[in-house]
Amino acid sequence: MSTVLVIGASRGIGLEFVRQYREAGARVIATARDDAGLARLNALGAQALRLDVAEPASVSGLAWQLDGEKIEVALYVAGVLAGGNVGDPPSAEVFDQVMRINVLAPMRVLPQLAQVLAPDARLVVLSSRMGSMGLRTNGNSWLYRASKAAVNSVVKDISFGLQGKAVCVAMHPGWVKTEMGGPGADLDVTQSVADMRATVANLRPEHNGTFINHDGQALAW
């Protein structure tokens, strides 16, 4: 039975990953930061761990909680969207919140995950097409875009250390109907996650250090 880890699984895309991987028979370890989120994970039969990725004390406890695990698929999902459009400077508080959760937290958590990966594992970081500079056509939500461009850089850097051992990618889930995506988004969360699971299953060593759409298409950084 394969072991899947989902970081940031209290709701939205993360929770749906847990539901679908459990349904497929995987053993799932998943994190949430409050009791309600942990209860939802337990109800799906996951092993629930408490983790607030923005809290250094919480993050520093992750390595021992995962000690001895051999994770085949690790999904880093936690993220926030905040701040205005281009020309609207964010407050220091909003800047810190978005950059802490979307960039600093992966820089703290991903090296720990790299230590518990099984041979030939998949490490997938939920990024966004909004972080792509090659594909960008406007400056809406510029702080969020900057944070996802930065986490793409983090994924690329982590991928060098995993070359030949695992496959690490940044993945765009599509525009998805969650609290973040809103009700007008293109994709139901079930479809987005089904697409991403299929894409993850098809990842090959040559995909290490790339940026991929939910349907498996390559994306420009």
Q: Give the binding site for ligand NAP (CB under 6 A).
A: 8, 10-14, 33-34, 37, 51-54, 77-80, 101, 126, 128, 172-173, 175-176, 178-181, 185
Q: Which is nearer to ligand NAP, 18 or 71 (CB)?
A: 18
Paired tokens of 63: 């390595």
Length of the chain as a residue count: 221
Report the nearest approach of ligand NAP to the CB of residue 180 (Å).
3
Alpha helices in 100-212 (DSSP H): 105-114, 142-162, 189-201
Closest contact distance (angstroms) between CB of 78 and ligand NAP is 4
CA distances from 121 to 50, 95, 164, 184, 203 (A): 23, 33, 10, 34, 10
Helix (H) or strand (E) holding 14: helix 12-23
Cβ(124)–Cβ(106) under 8 Å? no
Please, which residue, 50 or 165, has the CB nearer to ligand NAP? 50
Nearer to ligand NAP, 49 or 121 (CB): 49
Smallest separation (angstroms) from ligand NAP to the CB of 1: 25
Query: Please, what is the minimum distance in Å from the beta carbon of residue 87 to ligand NAP?
Result: 22
Token digits of residue 69? 């695990």
Q: Are 32 and 5 in contact (CB under 8 A)?
A: no
Residue 23 or 34: which CB sits closer to ligand NAP?
Answer: 34
Tokens of 220: 């420009």
Q: How far is the CB of 194 from ligand NAP (least distance, A)?
A: 15
Which residue lies nearer to ligand NAP by CB, 35 or 120? 35
Backbone angles phi, psi at 174, to 5 degrees: 90, 180
- Give CA–CA dist 72/66, Å, rounded: 13
**DSSP 8-state assignment for residue 130:** G
- Least gap, CB of 164 to ligand NAP (angstroms): 27
Closest to ligand NAP by CB, 25 vs 137, is 137
Eight-state DSSP code of residue 138: -
